[in-house]
Structure 1
């Protein structure tokens, strides 16, 4: 079976690209599947990267990036040339350029549509893209959602007769770097560490996590990794609220230190406030280390499904700093309760969110699509 994944960018810059890349690598290691990947090059130049014996990453040249979409007419030309080499095209949404390339390619084979999220911020893009998006939904033989919540609640996926299925995102477990763990432990000795990670942008809701520190005992310390346009504003909030001893902005964290922060923290918090946060891969990274999670109940998002309330952690209302703080204290103030959450978080990861499970479910889906 030959499969082509089509999606956003390479090199990897976000969760969608990471899922697509992991699928290509995992599928190509099997004897029964050859899998390539077609995407727009962030470096703007066309090139082909060989991955093992059964996979290629085909990067097409681009003009420029507009509304989170790389304009790449070369993708259309390339797909028209290679489309007949594949039994299945697996397209990752949202990506108007990939959808346009599929439409203009004249491909007649099977199509799997991976619906990672709705288009939310780019209102003008959505207006222009809406007819093509409707075509793509109707063209798909099956639509994959990363959570049952998103499949159920997305307003674009409510047409009768759509063939929809859930395949959760899967990852390899985080393996903490022991040397970095020792260094961090010395740096924050005696503290209960609450970790969070992400771009410092509005939809991540970091201002509410920072404000939550006002309600936490003095031995609690919130560590926020990542950089972004709101860094100065968030630093100002820490200063205004006099939370120097309770909140630290870590900036960009290296891969080695990142694994260590997941390993050393007592608990992970996802404070996001908008449906732009569709799944929250960082939650399952924390769970893979046996860390309980405090997450938010975002309408229509899969975030609160990933973190099962009362099992792997606690889910609270969005934009509620006091509720975040109460959930943190609830989990960390009782050793027996904490142990229960920790074990359940690890078990939920092992049951639902391992990469090999995602790959196996995709292969099963492909076989069903081919034979239908």
Structure 2
């Protein structure tokens, strides 16, 4: 597909300046399309917080949503979707987003359809999942191209198995230059020889409790830095207190980008101890790799064991095992320089923004 004045509309739950993994991907795609000469539009459902308008040559249409669970709902969107997209040559749907997928099934236009499949629907009861998966099958059948973020996820997803022939892999990325720094973070009195780092939201599927518990199996030269916030913050504090680990765990939040970079640069190993497939990728691990940190991730059948090659740039371990985390930490500290350099080179060669941009443009031109 030639890009001259072709209109490409991306549909996602939310869009910049709303923060999040899917929001970042939507923004990266929309902006590279605009730079390459396409007419790039975005439809999102964060109109209560942000206004419609143009950002970096991307035309953003925001709807005010009702919230039912994690899913945005907009009756107005459903009523005008077909008319809104009548001039679009390509529609990119960021899945999962139930209202957008329902609109796609009612879509009457001739645009090419791309489904960017970020993850399965996880965390709902069996009936809801069963109904949603039936709709998903119809949505995927209607797609011209499906994009998965790792071959691991494509193979492990029941929804994607029958559509492997039209699924292409587009690995998520980081702009590695944004994370390189020589600055060190001032931890004040937190002076441990071996610093373990976690960055992320405080939610159940991240498995932070197993990471904290791993300190029981490590001597007192190891300290843990936890960066983030979320609804489990008080539970995490209670666990630290109950296990008498207040001196060995440092909790940080609301860091600036510069401060976060210096925390990465001041740490020795990064751990993403996720326990559920809700962790479809984990871009924070790529950020750690960009800072030459060895990484530890869990085997979930997702992207966490795609960018992390066991024994090369880190360790891949079983989930829900504090002992496994502790053993992996020791190995990564021992091989810090080798794993760190390997990961740094890997993220530059395979998971950079340049690679991401080039791949999405190639997918579009093949439509």
Task: Calculate the TM-score normalised by the size of structure 2.
Answer: 0.92
Residue 144 (structure 2) pairs with residue 149 (structure 1):
no
Contact kept in structure 1, 2:271 and 2:295, CA below 8 Å: yes
Q: Deviations over 1:153-205 (max 9, x none)?
A: 100112267411111001212645969x4442555345322110111111100
Residue 52 (structure 2) pairs with residue 51 (structure 1):
no
Structure 2 residues not aligned, in runs of 5+: 1-5
Stretch moving more, 239-248 or 268-277: 239-248
SS at match of 1:85: coil
Residue 323 (structure 2) pairs with residue 316 (structure 1):
no
Q: How does 1:187-202 map to 2 (within 5 A)?
A: 187-202=189-204
Stretch moving more, 76-85 or 150-159: 76-85
- Number of equivalences: 360
Task: Calculate the TM-score normalised by the size of structure 1.
Answer: 0.91
User: What is aligned with 2:232?
Assistant: 230
Distance 2:91 2:323 in 1: 47
Residue 2 (structure 2) pairs with residue 4 (structure 1):
no
How far does residue 125 in structure 1 lie from its aligned partner after superposition?
Answer: 4.0
Q: Deviations over 1:189-231 (max 9, x none)?
A: 4532211011111110001100111122212211011112222
Q: Deviations over 1:115-152 (max 9, x none)?
A: 11000113354344333212111000111100001111
Contact kept in structure 1, 2:179 and 2:287, CA below 8 Å: no
Contact kept in structure 2, 1:76 and 1:104, CA below 8 Å: no
Q: In structure 1, which of residues 353, 362, 369 is the aligned counterpart of residue 360 of structure 2?
A: 362
Distance 1:199 1:190 in 2: 24
Distance 1:183 1:158 in 2: 45
Q: In structure 2, which of residues 140, 145, 158 is the aligned counterpart of residue 137 of structure 1?
A: 140
Q: CA RMSD in A?
A: 2.1
How far does residue 349 in structure 1 lie from its aligned partner after superposition?
Answer: 0.4
Q: Deviations over 1:259-291 (max 9, x none)?
A: 221222111100000001011111101111111
SS at match of 2:306: helix
Distance 2:60 2:208 in 1: 35
Contact kept in structure 1, 2:293 and 2:336, CA below 8 Å: no
Q: In structure 2, which of residues 350, 353, 359 is the aligned counterpart of residue 352 of structure 1?
A: 350
Q: In structure 1, which of residues 38, 45, 52 is the aligned counterpart of residue 43 of structure 2?
A: 38
Contact kept in structure 1, 2:94 and 2:115, CA below 8 Å: yes
How far does residue 21 in structure 1 lie from its aligned partner after superposition?
Answer: 0.9
Distance 1:174 1:215 in 2: 35
User: What is aligned with 2:3?
Assistant: none
Q: Deviations over 1:308-357 (max 9, x none)?
A: 1111100111111111111111121x3xx321101101011012111121
Distance 1:17 1:184 in 2: 31
Seen in structure 2, the aligned counterparts of structure 1 residues 361 and 226 have a Cα distance that, compared at 3 Å, is same
User: What is aligned with 1:101?
Assistant: 103
User: What is aligned with 2:298?
Assistant: 296
User: What is aligned with 1:272?
Assistant: 274
Q: In structure 2, which of residues 244, 254, 257 is the aligned counterpart of residue 242 of structure 1?
A: 244
SS at match of 1:156: coil
How far does residue 52 in structure 1 lie from its aligned partner after superposition?
Answer: 3.0
Structure 1 residues not aligned, in runs of 5+: none
Residue 349 (structure 2) pairs with residue 343 (structure 1):
no
Q: In structure 1, which of residues 3, 11, 17 is the aligned counterpart of residue 23 of structure 2?
A: 17
Seen in structure 2, the aligned counterparts of structure 1 residues 320 and 77 have a Cα distance that, compared at 3 Å, is same
How far does residue 254 in structure 1 lie from its aligned partner after superposition?
Answer: 3.3
